[in-house]
Every structure is written in structure tokens, then in C-alpha cells.
């Protein structure tokens, strides 16, 4: 058996950056050597600045501060070599300046940034000396004879056209090798920057955990707000409309017999319109959070959807009728089904919707399919896009398939079993 090892994203990126080095001749015909030279040149300038900052002892206590600023620039500068920008490992902090500074001092990422700046300060003089000598020799052999006739190599004068041409070719070769090495050094620096200035696996995991926690808080707050709106609608406008309907009924009964038929008809029409408004409000309240969802679960709640069209609810493979799930899962599934039915009525011209629940070792799923015209696109509206975001907020997925002509199918799935 042959085992295959999948390279990490960092390894793939480093391989992509180093790819031009494997074809030296083709490398010189691209923009890579010049991008590498620009990156290298700026690195030398920055390195000397950092070197003098470390040499001036009074600035050493401020090393975390200016290393933090340097790191922000370096994370973006790697894009000069067509590498993606490096992510910021620092979590957001709030408070006054001293509070934020104290939080940053306590982070490992800050001291990795200091290590990067220190490494840059130590290596810059060495690398700069080697690069300066190589480029002076190469450019001197190419351009020297143009400015002075007294050019010699190790005591041997370069005179005559043939000699000058031969040494100019040698100088060009040295410059080409210099471009090659300069790019290689730049690639190595990008790899070092990504290692020291990017977030570690542990930091990424902590950030994911924090996002999941905040996501849960947002979902709970969202559901709490829905419940509050439901109570307010039920206890406020709905009760007032019901009282007004009773008053209109009493008014109609108390009208004297000699009243005109027109007055009676107007009162009857007002009461009918009020009843329609109350029915719409009841549907709105039920759509905010139906009581049956809490009492009997998502399957029972979905059977009450529809109204103008037929909604069939089926128990698919592995699904036991009456099965209950965590409240946030049931709520997300119900609102997805409710929005799908509403869209089928308003936009798809559907006559029937089929909702199928299923369960297995990978979790539970819900499929909502209508016989409408199709053509639904999450990118063109906020309804479906909002449902996708809601599913992702609880770790689920929502896939929308809606070819022109239909049918429209929503597949909702989660690993919760």
C-alpha cells in the first residue's frame, strides 16, 4: 500500500512561490525576478532600520510596539510575490491604550513578531554584505568599461573589445545568478514571515471557539427577540382587533331596523375586512414562532404550512414520526421550510410542496421541493441567502437547486443525530 501525504496550505504556497526557481531560464523571462528584487531591496532597507532600532538601547523596551507595527506591514508586503496576505493572529481588544497594550504584551503572537524583527536585524548586515559584493562585481564587469578604461580583474586589466565583451558576459551571468538568489532569499523570508507572523493552529482554534460561542449567543438573542415580538403581537394588536370586531358586531346588531341597507353593508364590509386583517395577523404570529413547534416538533409544525397551496409532509428514510430535535435545530428547519413555502407561493407559482425528513448516521436532513417555475437564486435576494446564513450559524448546510422551469429543491442538513 502506498500512503499519500496531502501538503498543507503553507506547503502548497511555498511550493508555488519556489516554482519559478525550478526553471532558471524561463524564470528570467517573467516578472518574478523583478518582484523578488523589489521585495529584497525593501527588506534590506527595513532590516537596517530595525538593526539601528535594536542598536539604540533606549528603544529596546519599545521593541514589542514597533515590531507590532512592522508585522502589520510585512503581512501585506508578501503579496508582492503573489502570495496571499498573512492573517492577523491578534484577537480584537477593547479598552483604553494601557489596557490594549497590556493585552498585546501578554500574547504569544507579539513575541513572535519581536523574534521576526530581531531575526531581520541580525541577518540584514550579513545578507546585505554578500548581495552588495555580488552586485558590485556583476554590474562593475558590465558597466565599468563604459565609464573608465582602467578596469582590472584580480590585477589583470580589461582592455580590448573581446576582453571587455567576455567579462561583460561574465558580469551578466553573475547578475542573473544574483536575481535568482535574490528571489530565493525573498521566498525564504516570506516563509519565515508566515511562520512567525501568522496565526498558529492553537490561535485559530481559539478564534473558532470564540466565534461559535458568539454565534450561539446571537442565535439565542434572535430567538428571544422572536418570542418577544410574538407575545407583543398576541397581547397587543391582536387583542385590540378582536375587541374592535366584537364592537362592530354589536353595532351591526344594534342598528335600528329603519337604517338604510347601505349603512348595514358598510358595517358588514368593515367587519369582514377586520376579520381578514386578524387572519393575516394570526398567520404572522404563527409564522414568527408557532406554538405547535414547541409542543410537537418541526414535523407537526410543517404540516400547518401552506394555506393557498398543498403541503405534504413525509417521513423519509431513518426518520421516526414525532421525532424531537434540539430547539435551535427545529427552529432553523421550520423557518427554512416556511420561507420555502412562501417563496413557492409568491415567486414560483407552485401548487404543491413536498417536505421530506430523513435521518442517518451522518445526521438529519430536510428536503423541500415544489412544482413551481424554478429560477430561484440566493445571489439575487436576501431571503434564500439569509436562510443559508442561518443554517451555517448552527453548523448546518443549505443547498438550493432551482433550474429554470423547476422544480426548486432546498436540501437542509446537519450532523446532529
Q: Based on the domain organization, do 266 and 393 belong to the same domain?
A: no
pLDDT of residue 257: 60
Q: Can you tell me the distance from the alpha carbon of 351 to that of 353, in angstroms, rounded to the nearest whole number?
A: 7
Domain count for the chain? 3
- Domain-embedded: residue 210: no
CB atoms within 10 A of CB 410: 26
In contact, 179 and 131? CB cutoff 8 Å: no
Residue 214 lies in a domain: no
Q: What is the C-alpha radius of gyration for the chain, rounded to an integer number of angstroms? A: 36
List Cα–Cα distances, 64 to 7, 116, 302, 374, 399, in angstroms: 33, 11, 58, 58, 47
Helix (H) or strand (E) holding 401: strand 397-401
Residues 13, 66, single domain; the answer is: yes
Neighbour tally for 261: CB within 10 Å: 7
Please indicate, yes or no, whether residues 228 and 306 belong to a single structural domain of this protein. Answer: no
| Helix, coil or strand: residue 289 | coil
Q: Tens-of-pLDDT digits for all 417 residues of the chain?
A: 344 444 555 555 555 666 666 777 777 778 888 888 899 999 999 999 999 888 876 677 788 888 888 999 999 998 888 888 888 888 777 777 778 778 788 888 889 999 999 999 999 999 888 888 887 777 666 665 555 555 555 555 556 556 556 666 777 777 788 888 888 888 889 989 988 988 888 877 777 776 666 666 666 666 666 666 666 665 666 666 666 767 766 666 666 665 566 666 777 777 777 777 666 666 555 555 677 887 888 888 888 886 678 888 989 888 988 889 888 888 888 888 888 888 888 877 888 899 999 998 888 999 999 988 888 888 776 578 878 887 887 888 899 888 888 888 999 998 876
pLDDT attached to residue 355: 92
Instruction: State yes or no: cis peptide before 407, omega within 30 of 0.
Output: yes
Q: Are strands 397-401 and 152-153 parallel, antiparallel or unpaired?
A: unpaired
End position of a domain, from candidates 261, 288, 315: 288
Kindly state the helix (H) or strand (E) to which residue 153 belongs, with its residue range: strand 152-153
Range of the domain at 128: 9-199
Which of 244, 269, 288 is the C-terminal boundary of a domain?
288
pLDDT of amino acid 15: 58
The CB-side HSE value for 40 (13 A sphere, CA atoms) comes to: 22
The cell for 297 is 416538533
Q: Residue 99 to residues 62, 111, 233: CA-CA distances in angstroms? A: 16, 18, 45
Q: Is residue 204 part of a domain?
A: no
Residues 323 and 374 in one domain: yes
* pTM confidence score: 0.52
Query: Residues near 227 by Cβ (< 8 Å), separated by ≥ 6?
Result: 289
Residues 280 and 318 in one domain: no
Amino acid at each position: 500500500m502506498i500512503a499519500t501525504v496531502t501538503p498543507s496550505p503553507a506547503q502548497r504556497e511555498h511550493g508555488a512561490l519556489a516554482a519559478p526557481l525550478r526553471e532558471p531560464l524561463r524564470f528570467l523571462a517573467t516578472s518574478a525576478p523583478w518582484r523578488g528584487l523589489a521585495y529584497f531591496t525593501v527588506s534590506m532597507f527595513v532590516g537596517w532600520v530595525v538593526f539601528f532600532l535594536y542598536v539604540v538601547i533606549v528603544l529596546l523596551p519599545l521593541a514589542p510596539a514597533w515590531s507590532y507595527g512592522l508585522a502589520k506591514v510585512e503581512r501585506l508586503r508578501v503579496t508582492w510575490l503573489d502570495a496571499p496576505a498573512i492573517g492577523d493572529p491578534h484577537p480584537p481588544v477593547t479598552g483604553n491604550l494601557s489596557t490594549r497594550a497590556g493585552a498585546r504584551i501578554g500574547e504569544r503572537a507579539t513575541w513572535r513578531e519581536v523574534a521576526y524583527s530581531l531575526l531581520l536585524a541580525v541577518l540584514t548586515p550579513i545578507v546585505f554584505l554578500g548581495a552588495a559584493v555580488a552586485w558590485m562585481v556583476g554590474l562593475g564587469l558590465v558597466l565599468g568599461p563604459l565609464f573608465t578604461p582602467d578596469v582590472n580583474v584580480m590585477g589583470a586589466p580589461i582592455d580590448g573589445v573581446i576582453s571587455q565583451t567576455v567579462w561583460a558576459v561574465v558580469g551578466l551571468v553573475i547578475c542573473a545568478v544574483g536575481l535568482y538568489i535574490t528571489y530565493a532569499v525573498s521566498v525564504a523570508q516570506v516563509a519565515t514571515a508566515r511562520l512567525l507572523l501568522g496565526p498558529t493552529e492553537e490561535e485559530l482554534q481559539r478564534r473558532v471557539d470564540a466565534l461559535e460561542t458568539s454565534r450561539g449567543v446571537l442565535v439565542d438573542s434572535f430567538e428571544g427577540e422572536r418570542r418577544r415580538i410574538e407575545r407583543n403581537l398576541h397581547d397587543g394588536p391582536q387583542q385590540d382587533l378582536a375587541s374592535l370586531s366584537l364592537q362592530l358586531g354589536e353595532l351591526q346588531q344594534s342598528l335600528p331596523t329603519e337604517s338604510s341597507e347601505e349603512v348595514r353593508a358598510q358595517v358588514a364590509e368593515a367587519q369582514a375586512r377586520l376579520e381578514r386583517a386578524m387572519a393575516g395577523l394570526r398567520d404572522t404570529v404563527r409564522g414568527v414562532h408557532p406554538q405547535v413547534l414547541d409542543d410537537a416538533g418541526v414535523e407537526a409544525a410543517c404540516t400547518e404550512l401552506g394555506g393557498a397551496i398543498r403541503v405534504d409532509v413525509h417521513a423519509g428514510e431513518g426518520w421516526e414520526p414525532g421525532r424531537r430535535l434540539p430547539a435551535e435545530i427545529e427552529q432553523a428547519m421550520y423557518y427554512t421550510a416556511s420561507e420555502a413555502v412562501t417563496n413557492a407561493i409568491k415567486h414560483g407559482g407552485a401548487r404543491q410542496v413536498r417536505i421530506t425528513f430523513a435521518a442517518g448516521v451522518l445526521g438529519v436532513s430536510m428536503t423541500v421541493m415544489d412544482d413551481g417555475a424554478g429560477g430561484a437564486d440566493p445571489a439575487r435576494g436576501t431571503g434564500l441567502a439569509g436562510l443559508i446564513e442561518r443554517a451555517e450559524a448552527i453548523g448546518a448546510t443549505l443547498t438550493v437547486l432551482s433550474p429554470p422551469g423547476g422544480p426548486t429543491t432546498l436540501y437542509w442538513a446537519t450532523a446532529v443525530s
